[in-house]
Structure 1
Amino acid sequence: MEEITAFYDLDLEHDRLSRGLGLLEFARTLDVLGRLLPEPPATVLDIGGGTGAYARELLRLGHRVHFLDLIPGHVERVRADPALAALASVTLGDARALPYATASADAALVMGPLYHLMAAEDRAKALAEAARVVRPGGLVAVTAIPRAAAICGDFKHGLDEEDYSRAIRERAYTSGLYLNPEGRPGFFTTAYFHHPADLEEELGAAGLRDVTLYALEGPASKLLADPALELSDPLRRDGLLTALRLVERDPALLGMSAHLLGVGWR
């Protein structure tokens, strides 16, 4: 975990969802969650919440939000942010051992930890914990990165470091293991990339029912030259989001999205 912590200590996460393709990931995640979360006020656990982007929106909607993250710098940012002062709690903690009581929340969002847990047993622990802390009928929602994302990302952004990139993307696709052995800038840190069917199986193994996968960015992650431009114009934004809703559950397109949202109910 040391290289993962070092990567996030670079403080790259605080504005990731406010630029580039992160804008579309953020908009689409809120779009899908807006259809699935209970009406406010609900108790929502933001597990692996980064620097509070989703927590801020959940508070704005009127939910009672508990925040947890493994990275000390993220927790410090959240505690210092006046816009997050209404959080019910802010905890430095691990998704595999949640400090919340059983059946104490209406929803648990695991928006990142799953792709930094390399071992299957660790992912199973995190999912079991998320399922434990929501009430019967409660929602568990997790984000994952599909295996093909390493291939699609390389070919969209160029092949200037092809000798280095090739082994990374081929390993990620064939095994799920994304490794940046030299820690080169511009590459991700140690991560696990899912095949969509494996994500669905892991959610089901945690005892969740009605498991559904959503492609967040879908084909737009490969086709949009300027996500900010598309999302800043109301008409173009509506057209883009409407199109992505149309294909969001198409099994043939799940693997080409930059991120998946997997959901299930306890």
Structure 2
Amino acid sequence: MTLVEHYDTETTENTRLLRSPHGRLEFRRTQELVRRAISGPGKRVLDVGGATGVHARWLAADGHSVHVVDPVAGHVAEAAHLEGVTAEVGDARALTWPDSSADVVLLMGPLYHLTESGDRAQAIAEARRVLRPGGLLFAAAIGRYLSAMETGTNGQLADHITPSVEAVLNTGRYDGHVGFVPAHFHTADELRGELETAGLSEISVYGVEGPAWPALDVAGIDEFDARVDAALRCARLVEQDPLLINASAHFLAVAVN
């Protein structure tokens, strides 16, 4: 199944960050980290791989001008209906925006969907091209240890799945064994290295959810409100701790062009 087919038939992207406890935690922390780095309203934001506008919606409400680029036509149609948001079908590796035309670029999905390193490098290069000097890049990645932590916590880590979990730990190549399409799973150092190689500066990589996210999922959605504050505090405490950063399900890198 292709990426476009997956998002057309297998998932409702505008609810992905709401339907699971760790998705809700990811959404809150992503908002927190992005807002921490962006100073003031009025930024020209290019949301590459922005899907249905999950992040574009709140960025526009914060006073930014947001344009979504996504390969899925259905996503683009939904995003285009949001107030303060425009959208187009496009590819992270070949953006239509001119050089130095964006204050902020978000790559919230392309770096895990582009499974080949050369394609990821091209997407980062395109983000740099359209960013003005001094502009901010936000780049998300899925953590290499996600499936080991998820299946080890929810009781699903058994003989039949262990080779796939080992493979993603060793190579970053994820085969879909806990759902989702095949993807590339990063380590925090690998994500930093890709941005450094592209020539970006002042790179900070954050663990988004911290180490408590699998326990939130096991506890269930009904327990989320009672447990989320502690999970958020934990995530903040160790968001750049070199010994725990890779326990997060996702990373968010912030870099300057």
Q: Is the 8 A contact 1:230 1:240 kept in 2?
A: no
Matching residue of 1:39: 40
Match of 2:174, as an amino acid?
Y
Matching residue of 2:63: 62
- Write the distance in 2 (CA, Å) between the matches of 1:217 and 1:149: 11
Shift of residue 3 of structure 1?
Answer: 2.8
- Write the distance in 2 (CA, Å) between the matches of 1:247 and 1:159: 27
- Write the distance in 2 (CA, Å) between the matches of 1:195 and 1:145: 8
Matching residue of 2:212: 220
The secondary structure found in structure 1 opposite 2:253 is: strand
1:201 aligns to 2:193 (yes or no): yes
Q: Say if 1:231 and 1:32 are closer, same or farther in 2 by CA, change over 3 A.
A: farther
TM-score by length of 1: 0.89
Q: Is the 8 A contact 1:24 1:227 kept in 2?
A: no
2:181 is aligned, of 189, 202, 213, to 189
Shift of residue 237 of structure 1?
Answer: 4.7
Q: Is the 8 A contact 1:38 1:106 kept in 2?
A: no
1:133 aligns to 2:130 (yes or no): yes
Shift of residue 50 of structure 1?
Answer: 1.5
Matching residue of 2:225: 232
Matching residue of 1:259: 250
Shift of residue 173 of structure 1?
Answer: 0.9
1:119 aligns to 2:116 (yes or no): yes
Matching residue of 1:166: 162
Matching residue of 2:28: 27
Q: Could you list the runs of 5+ residues in structure 1 that have no partner in the other structure?
A: none
1:86 aligns to 2:79 (yes or no): no
Shift of residue 231 of structure 1?
Answer: 5.5
Q: Is the 8 A contact 2:46 2:68 kept in 1?
A: yes
Matching residue of 2:107: 110
Shift of residue 30 of structure 1?
Answer: 0.2
Q: Could you list the runs of 5+ residues in structure 2 that have no partner in the other structure?
A: none
Match of 1:232, as an amino acid?
D
Q: Say if 1:231 and 1:36 are closer, same or farther in 2 by CA, change over 3 A.
A: farther
Matching residue of 2:235: 244
The secondary structure found in structure 1 opposite 2:47 is: strand
Shift of residue 205 of structure 1?
Answer: 1.0
Shift of residue 158 of structure 1?
Answer: 2.4
The secondary structure found in structure 1 opposite 2:137 is: strand
- Write the distance in 2 (CA, Å) between the matches of 1:85 and 1:68: 16
Shift of residue 242 of structure 1?
Answer: 3.2
Q: Is the 8 A contact 1:218 1:254 kept in 2?
A: yes
- Write the distance in 2 (CA, Å) between the matches of 1:257 and 1:251: 12
Match of 1:115, as an amino acid?
Y
Match of 1:244, as an amino acid?
A
Identity across matched positions, percent: 41
How big is each residue's C-alpha offset from its partner over 1:166-222, in whole Å with a ceiling of 9 and x where there is no partner?
A: 232111111111113xxx7x5121100112111110011111101111000011213
Matching residue of 1:145: 142
How big is each residue's C-alpha offset from its partner over 1:101-147, in whole Å with a ceiling of 9 and x where there is no partner?
A: 11111110000111011111100000111111111111001110111
Alignment length (residue pairs): 254
- Write the distance in 2 (CA, Å) between the matches of 1:169 and 1:146: 13
- How well do the aligned residues superpose, as a CA RMSD in angstroms? 1.9
